[in-house]
Structure 1
């Protein structure tokens, strides 16, 4: 498990669009933090900055006490799951999950099976994505993220495209998985119900700023448009 520290983080895109404004945020080791905000509030940009997919204009990000840019193991330490499933249609479930481990590791099969079992899809390893439901494809994406055994898991609206009938089930499974594996998790959503039901703590974003954070989510919900 790893702690995350965001200090005075700002991101300005050309031509002068301020997406994140002077955000300071602490995420405890093993915590499940939800970034909650309306579309355009800056939550996805903040997540991408923490992932190292965007470069801050100013400010610093520490993961495990080390600046993000200085961690040589950043790709292994930080895993990201996006809203889109991003599965390779020509690869089986097993090949999709094992893709980050390509390079001839001797334990690939064992780690793929372990990750699939955590997500309840170990009976689907031989299937192609075309024969999976949307919820199953998202489970494949989750398994591919955890197969490297990351210290930090970043989730960007991962349930937006799943069937409403399995939404609650996946929501509970994600929380249970991160707690079982002890992974520090930052989860982005615009959905209040997701935030309230999943978070250890919620940070509410508006116009690129953290306008409220705490353990009692109902206090900050009226700040969401």
Structure 2
């Protein structure tokens, strides 16, 4: 398991009498990017919580070969009455490292702003910085771009991929957006309806220069993935 950061065997999860996850098997390598697409209620966020030790009540085996994890939620969840810098030092006191990631997320100069003074995209960038300052070996993205418009969303995704190339962390993304999934993944897992199974594990064979929504190969990959999803009834 030297190069495997996460290994899941026969994972099952129930809520009382409701079966949500039914027998997932999965391995993720270090610095690999995985995206998960599936219908609402099929256990995607539940799976992320299990990985992050926020839910320990499950059946099966989850082997974790990492010490540091970053979790980016759908909502920024910033403390409204303190500044951007204070929100971040509340989690991690190293201001030099915070400044590094603020620059990487194009937020230099906004350290003293309150959350209410930031746009939605800027708040989500702060949310990302908060997850990144601990140098995660695994970054979890739980639909953090769903409320953002397209240019802002794709700009943030580009910055995440640049940082990932530099710092070599793995990424697990949950999304309903096929473009997001392709931009942020080396593999895409397609999940069935509840109780969910992993019904497809699709490799995204695109070069870095081809990961552009206007690129012909990107458009072809998106079209093929959409057809596959529709053929499976998702």
TM-score class, shorter-chain normalisation, is 0.7 to 0.9
Looking at structure 1, the residues matched to 172 and 53 of structure 2 have their Cα atoms a distance apart, in angstroms, of 14
Residue 181 (1) aligns with residue 167 (2): yes
* Deviation per residue, 1:153-202 (Å, 9 max, x gap): 11100101123341222222222222222111101001112112321111
User: For residue 78 of structure 1, what is the aligned residue in structure 2?
Assistant: 69
Contact 1:38–1:224 (Cα < 8 Å) also in 2: no
* Deviation per residue, 1:13-64 (Å, 9 max, x gap): 12x1111111111111101100111212221111111111112421121121
Corresponding residue SS for 1:204: strand
Contact 1:98–1:147 (Cα < 8 Å) also in 2: no
Please provide the CA RMSD for this pair: 1.9
Stretch moving more, 187-196 or 169-178: 169-178
Looking at structure 2, the residues matched to 135 and 149 of structure 1 have their Cα atoms a distance apart, in angstroms, of 22
**Are the structure 2 counterparts of residues 153 and 2 from structure 1 closer, same or farther at C-alpha, using a change threshold of 3 Å?**
farther
* Deviation per residue, 1:121-152 (Å, 9 max, x gap): 12211111111000000000000001111111
Looking at structure 1, the residues matched to 119 and 163 of structure 2 have their Cα atoms a distance apart, in angstroms, of 20
Corresponding residue SS for 1:178: helix
Looking at structure 2, the residues matched to 86 and 33 of structure 1 have their Cα atoms a distance apart, in angstroms, of 24
User: For residue 10 of structure 2, what is the aligned residue in structure 1?
Assistant: 8
Looking at structure 1, the residues matched to 233 and 57 of structure 2 have their Cα atoms a distance apart, in angstroms, of 25
C-alpha displacement of 1:224: 5.8
**Are the structure 2 counterparts of residues 109 and 159 from structure 1 closer, same or farther at C-alpha, using a change threshold of 3 Å?**
same
Which stretches in structure 1 are left out of the alignment for 5+ residues? 67-72, 103-107
Residue 152 (1) aligns with residue 138 (2): yes
Contact 1:204–1:211 (Cα < 8 Å) also in 2: yes
Q: Which has the higher contact order (CA 8 A, sep 6+)?
A: 1
User: For residue 97 of structure 1, what is the aligned residue in structure 2?
Assistant: 88
TM-score under structure 2 length normalisation: 0.83
C-alpha displacement of 1:91: 1.6
User: For residue 25 of structure 2, what is the aligned residue in structure 1?
Assistant: 24
User: For residue 70 of structure 1, what is the aligned residue in structure 2?
Assistant: none
Looking at structure 2, the residues matched to 116 and 126 of structure 1 have their Cα atoms a distance apart, in angstroms, of 12
Which stretches in structure 2 are left out of the alignment for 5+ residues? 205-220
User: For residue 45 of structure 1, what is the aligned residue in structure 2?
Assistant: 46
User: For residue 210 of structure 1, what is the aligned residue in structure 2?
Assistant: 198
TM alignment of 1:155-170, pairs within 5 A: 155-170=141-156
Looking at structure 2, the residues matched to 152 and 137 of structure 1 have their Cα atoms a distance apart, in angstroms, of 21
Contact 1:35–1:202 (Cα < 8 Å) also in 2: yes
TM-score under structure 1 length normalisation: 0.86
**Are the structure 2 counterparts of residues 186 and 46 from structure 1 closer, same or farther at C-alpha, using a change threshold of 3 Å?**
same
Looking at structure 2, the residues matched to 80 and 224 of structure 1 have their Cα atoms a distance apart, in angstroms, of 30
